């Protein structure tokens, strides 16, 4: 191991001790753990640990035969169970555990809860680490960070060990990934990376969601400074980086936090509160002040030390609800007779107040799968204080619809329209995450019904629908090129599929779509306000078509979006528009470059003076089977559609047969010549409710767009 410079020791002050036990020692990692230092001219390590019910604590190392009595820690007087000592001669990379004697006489060997470095699994010792001394080059990125709401956010979610592996099956290191990952992300047009959990964890197949080290980046991919280098390089390339962080529960492994000093220390003492039976893990005791100091310090640590731009908080619903995935005999109501975990609610509010006090423009995203209200409203207004929530309702409805056979889609049209009723009730992210491509759920591509070509058209449609729907975006790795089988959580993605034209074209499409998103302000500038969305028609259930507008602050940025969810093309599909003049196609998922049939709207389209969809004018559009067309007003005939990214043209695919042109009488209504059915009436009601909701000026999410009020409260 390279020798690390020793810093002068920082002693644990009485104020630190007080704040720790009050739940307000938000940088406790600076004092607890193992810190290389010099005391009285001697170099070594200052060890500090909280073990309130221990009889004795020592540092067990390979140099003392793992006998902690050889290097004992001293109980800090009047500290509430804090133990500390300076031990000379221990250096960077040396192995250690805490040897703890419990009140029952049991002898435990525990990894350091605040350890900054860990052995590579299956070994479980902590190592003396250091996070000091890295020279950052991302100052320009950090200076220009602003509130994320009126900016594009398109996140590429990834698991570092299975994105790409070396020829021999070993992992790329954090440092090596910088050279292969960053160019790919830039080429594909993503704005952010989200890493699945990197807090040290013992079992590969937990994917990091069952952690043992909340301050140690996993050693699978290198050391702390290697991770810093990766994030630094991302920032220098204008890529934000988020971390999936798991405060809801922790692993039961013997070397971890469970019964740390021989008693329930980090977990609830009550098994009905502590046990997560579905996952085989334990819940943190969110009401214990020392646990609050520990967890909030961990959250800040990843931002302070590693410069992460924000956190995605895993399994928030499991924290909020006492009955989460439990049978009736496995939980009991709170003192008010409800299912709410009051401790967890208050902890989350405190966490978010603290984060925004230090990092006003951070991203704090909740994976909250229920209809819990005001997740993204400020804590002082009764919300949980996040500034983003994963829209699990949109995800479930959308995937259910997309997996349905084409002829059955008209009966499920409300799955496309209902999400707009609540689309602005929170600040939403639209996730197509790892959870949707595992455990027999099939890959996104394989979820799509139909023939081979129709599956790819369906995936293009799904991603196009996501990009044009209100909310920030997230896609799990592999979806961008059509991974055909589920995520293999021990092997790399099937990059060999790019040897096949259809998958190359799929990746070309995703890159073009992402760059189109970046260029079009209407897709993100007023993303969280009703003024940014307007239905043209939500009621064409019979043909499984939706049409709508996305708007920016300037009228000239408005986009007109048509999405056809059935494998039937229309040569003349009319939509109502408000203004005369010409319109041009700016994106079409059926472009031959993307593997489509080539049904494009070339040149310009002139609006006709005839009412349609309650609007004064209308335009005729060629709408491809399983296709998305996006138009913009004011184009010139020489403009080239889909110019967001230069991509080598692909061989055109055979055109699908278009449906016959409609008669003049039929042109006045794009839906089939059937009487209005109950299902259609219900869809019309949904559209009306959506439009009615759009006049509401004050929503919970509107307040959440201003986290600074929370910052003042936290300060």
Determine how β-strand 213-217 pairs with β-strand 199-200. antiparallel
Give how far Cα 249 sits from Cα of 209, 246, 317, 346, 464, Å.
8, 7, 12, 16, 36
> CA-to-CA distance for 203 and 201, rounded, in angstroms?
6
> CA-to-CA distance for 350 and 24, rounded, in angstroms?
10
* Helix H or strand E segment including 276: strand 275-276
Active-site annotation holder among 112, 314, 710, 711? 314
- The residue ranges of DSSP E strands in 305-426, in sequence order, are 310-313, 363-366, 388-390
- Helix H segments across 146-205? 160-163, 174-188
> CA-to-CA distance for 436 and 462, rounded, in angstroms?
14
Contact at 8 Å (CB) between 422 and 393? Answer: yes
Burial bucket for residue 53 (CB in 10 Å: 0-12, 13-18, 19+):
middle
Contact at 8 Å (CB) between 497 and 504? Answer: no
* Helix H or strand E segment including 618: strand 617-623
Q: Which of 470, 483, 410 is nearest to 442 (CA)?
A: 483
CA angle in degrees (0–180, nearest 5) for 289-290-291: 90
Please list, in sequence order, all residues whose beta carbon lies within 8 angstroms of the beta carbon of residue 399, skipping any fewer than 6 positions away: 432, 436, 447
Contact at 8 Å (CB) between 656 and 569? Answer: yes
648 is catalytic: no
DSSP string, 36-93: EEEETTEEEEEEEEE-TT-SEEEEE-GGGTT-GGGSB-EEPTTSSSEEEEEEET--TT
> CA-to-CA distance for 184 and 193, rounded, in angstroms?
11
314 is catalytic: yes
122 preceded by a cis bond (ω within 30 of 0): yes
Active-site annotation holder among 94, 226, 367, 525? 367
Q: What is the DSSP letter of 670?
A: -
Catalytic center residues: 314, 367
């Amino acid at each position: 191991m390279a020798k690390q410079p020793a810093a002068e020791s920082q002693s644990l002050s009485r104020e630190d001790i007080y704040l720790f036990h009050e739940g307000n020692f938000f940088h406790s990692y600076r004092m607890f753990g193992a810190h290389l230092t010099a005391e009285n001219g001697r170099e070594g390590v200052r060890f500090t640990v909280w073990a309130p019910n221990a009889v004795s604590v020592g540092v067990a190392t390979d140099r003392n035969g793992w006998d902690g009595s050889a290097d004992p820690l001293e109980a800090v007087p009047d500290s509430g169970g804090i133990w500390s000592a300076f031990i000379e001669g221990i250096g960077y990379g040396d192995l250690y555990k805490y040897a703890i004697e419990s009140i029952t006489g049991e002898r435990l060997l525990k990894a350091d809860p605040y350890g900054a470095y860990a052995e590579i699994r299956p070994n479980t010792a902590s190592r003396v680490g250091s996070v000091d001394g890295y020279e950052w080059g991302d100052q320009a990125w950090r200076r220009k960070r602003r509130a994320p709401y009126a900016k594009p956010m398109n996140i590429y979610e990834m698991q570092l060990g299975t994105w790409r592996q070396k020829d021999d099956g070993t992992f790329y290191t954090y440092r090596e990934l910088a050279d292969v990952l960053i160019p790919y992300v830039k080429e594909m047009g993503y704005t952010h990376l989200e890493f699945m959990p990197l807090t040290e964890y013992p079992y590969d197949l937990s994917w990091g969601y069952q952690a043992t080290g909340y301050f140690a980046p996993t050693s699978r991919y290198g050391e702390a400074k290697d991770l810093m280098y990766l994030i630094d390089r991302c920032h220098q390339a204008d890529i934000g980086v988020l971390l999936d962080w798991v405060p809801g529960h922790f692993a039961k492994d013997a070397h971890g936090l469970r019964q740390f000093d021989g008693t329930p220390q980090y977990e609830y003492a009550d098994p009905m509160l502590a046990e997560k039976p579905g996952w085989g893990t334990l819940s943190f005791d969110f009401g214990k002040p020392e646990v609050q100091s520990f967890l909030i310090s961990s959250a800040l640590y990843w931002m302070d030390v590693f410069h992460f731009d924000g956190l995605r908080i895993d399994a928030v619903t499991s924290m909020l609800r006492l009955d989460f995935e439990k049978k009736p005999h496995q939980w009991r109501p709170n003192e008010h007779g409800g299912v709410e975990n009051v401790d967890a609610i208050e902890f989350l509010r405190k966490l978010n107040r603290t984060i925004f006090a230090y990092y006003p423009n951070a991203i704090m995203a909740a994976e909250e799968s229920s209809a819990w209200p005001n997740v993204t409203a400020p804590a002082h207004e009764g919300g949980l204080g996040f500034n983003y929530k994963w829209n699990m309702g949109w995800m479930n409805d959308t995937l259910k619809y997309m997996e349905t056979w084409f002829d059955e889609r008209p009966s499920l049209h409300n799955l496309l329209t209902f999400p707009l009723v609540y689309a602005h009730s929170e600040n939403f992210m639209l996730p197509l995450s790892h959870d949707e491509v595992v455990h027999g759920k099939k890959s996104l591509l394989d979820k799509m019904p139909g023939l081979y070509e129709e599956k790819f058209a369906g995936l293009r449609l799904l991603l196009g629908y996501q990009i044009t729907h209100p909310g920030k975006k997230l896609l799990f790795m592999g979806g961008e090129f059509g991974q055909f089988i589920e995520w293999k959580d021990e092997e790399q993605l099937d990059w060999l599929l790019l040897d096949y034209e259809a998958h190359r074209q799929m990746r070309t499409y995703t890159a073009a779509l992402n760059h189109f998103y970046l260029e079009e302000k209407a897709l993100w500038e007023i993303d969280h306000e009703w003024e940014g969305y307007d239905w043209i028609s939500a009621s064409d259930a019979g043909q499984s078509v939706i049409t709508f507008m996305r708007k920016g602050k300037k009228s000239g940025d408005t986009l007109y979006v048509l999405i056809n969810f059935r494998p039937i093309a229309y040569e003349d599909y009319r939509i109502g528009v408000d203004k005369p003049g010409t319109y041009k196609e700016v994106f079409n998922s059926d472009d031959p470059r993307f593997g489509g049939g080539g049904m494009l709207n070339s040149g310009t389209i002139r609006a006709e003076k005839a009412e349609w969809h309650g609007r004064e004018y209308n335009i005729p559009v060629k709408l491809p089977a399983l296709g998305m067309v996006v138009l913009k007003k004011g184009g010139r005939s020489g403009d080239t559609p889909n110019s967001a990214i230069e991509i080598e043209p692909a061989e055109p695919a055979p055109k699908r047969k278009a449906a016959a042109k409609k008669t003049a009488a039929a042109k006045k209504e794009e839906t089939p010549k059937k009487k209005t059915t109950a299902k259609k009436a219900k869809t019309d009601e949904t559209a009306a409710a959506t439009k009615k909701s759009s006049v509401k000026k004050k929503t919970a999410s509107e307040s959440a767009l201003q986290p600074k009020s929370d910052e003042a409260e936290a300060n």
